[in-house]
Amino acid sequence: MSKRDWREPFIEQLEKEYNNKKCFMCKNDVWEEGVVLRKESFFHCESYKLKSFNFLQEESKQLDKGESDIESEN
């Protein structure tokens, strides 16, 4: 199997298993943001975020209303 062959099924499995679920730690009824994969070596680290579609949709609605989020506040 080539590198390209495993990527799409891997992302689909991550979506199915971890994304688009309600946050189990939150008191409010909110979507989980997603998952972060970290590739680490001795001197270097790379991080990749796979955001939940439902989270992105809700985030877009809030931005359209003019509501700010914690990440974009300075």
- 16 φ/ψ sector (left φ>0, alpha ψ -120 to 50, else beta): alpha
Q: For the chain, give the percent of residues with pLDDT over 70.
A: 85
pLDDT digit string, tens, across residues 35-60: 999 999 999 999 999 999 988 888 88
Residue 19 lies in a domain: yes
Q: Are 21 and 32 in contact (CB under 8 A)?
A: yes
Residue 47 lies in a domain: yes
Residue 68 lies in a domain: no
How many folded domains does the chain comprise?
Answer: 1
Residue 64 lies in a domain: no
Domain carrying residue 27: 3-59
Residue 50 lies in a domain: yes
The whole-angstrom separation of Cα 10 and Cα 27 is 31
Q: Nearest to residue 14, comparing CAs of 40, 36, 41?
A: 36
